[in-house]
A and B are shown apart, each in its own frame.
Chain A
Amino acid sequence: MAKMKIKAKEKKGVVKVKAMFTNLMADREQAIKTGVKEEYLRQVTAKINDVIVYEVTMGGFMSENPLLKFKCKGKKGDKIVFTTVDNHGKEETGKKKIK
């Protein structure tokens, strides 16, 4: 359901990563106000070659469809794997080759 957009580009050993996730990020108060179900991403993890390079625990106060940008070390051709967990415990993964 949820979509993930990932971009990863390598330059001199440093990989610039941009990732966007489709999620309402509705917190308790907002969910009551707008009449939707409480829904937010609880955790996002990124791995390259099974090593964690980025990890964040979030609440519902991140913006809607959160956009995360970060830098990490890596090589061209490696795969970056994102895993997200939402507040209902649903897990989703997305992959992208580093350009």
Chain B
Amino acid sequence: MENRMDRRKFLGVGLAAFAAIFAPTTDLKAVDFRATKPAAWESEKTKDGIKALYGSAGLKNDEKKLSFKAPKLAENGGSIPITIESSLDLESVAFFQDANPRCLTCVFTVPKDAIIEYDIRVKMRQTAFVTVVGKTRDGQLYSSTKEIDVSIGGCGG
């Protein structure tokens, strides 16, 4: 009987060791902003969205350091190509627009030493302002804003 218990204990220790080895990999798992900042995903206006996601720190409008390419006139509102570029050492980048019922579209978590050049496609229902906000590792916020014309009819007018 005692022997058996020992064997059980041994198995238990083995399992614990196994778990300990694999635990760090789960820590490396990505940051889910939907779980950590649910308020930001529900807010309607870009201003409120930025506040909910990054707090109310002052925004620096710097289009040289944080820029994005977007078409001035989008013919297809269902898929608008946008390229975000930055030379700053950013921690995260977020993309907001005012065209849809909720403003926050996507949030990038930038790993260290990454090249910030992200290309995405978004949906927009109407002509509106879009804003890209970047947070540096020391907590400063940078932003840049553009207006995108969306012609739903697809005739370019």
Contact = CB atoms under 8 A, between A and B. Distances in A.
B122 A62 contact: yes
B115 A72 contact: yes
Interface of B: 25, 28, 30-34, 41, 78-80, 97, 100-102, 104-109, 111, 113-115, 117-124
A73 B115 contact: yes
Contacts of B97: 61
Contacts of B102: 27, 59, 61
A73 B104 contact: no
A14 B115 CA distance: 9
Given A59-B105, A63-B123, A45 B111 contact: no
Interface residues of A, number: 31
Interface of A: 14, 25, 27-29, 42-43, 45, 50-59, 61-64, 66-73, 85
Q: Is the interface of B mostly helix, strand, loop or mixed?
A: mixed
B32 A43 contact: yes
Contact of B31 (A27, A55, A63): A55
Nearest to A16: B117
A62 B120 contact: yes
A61 B115 contact: no
B33 A57 contact: yes
A67 B34 CA distance: 20
A72 B119 CA distance: 13
A83 to B, nearest CB: 8
Given A52-B111, A56-B108, A43 B121 contact: no
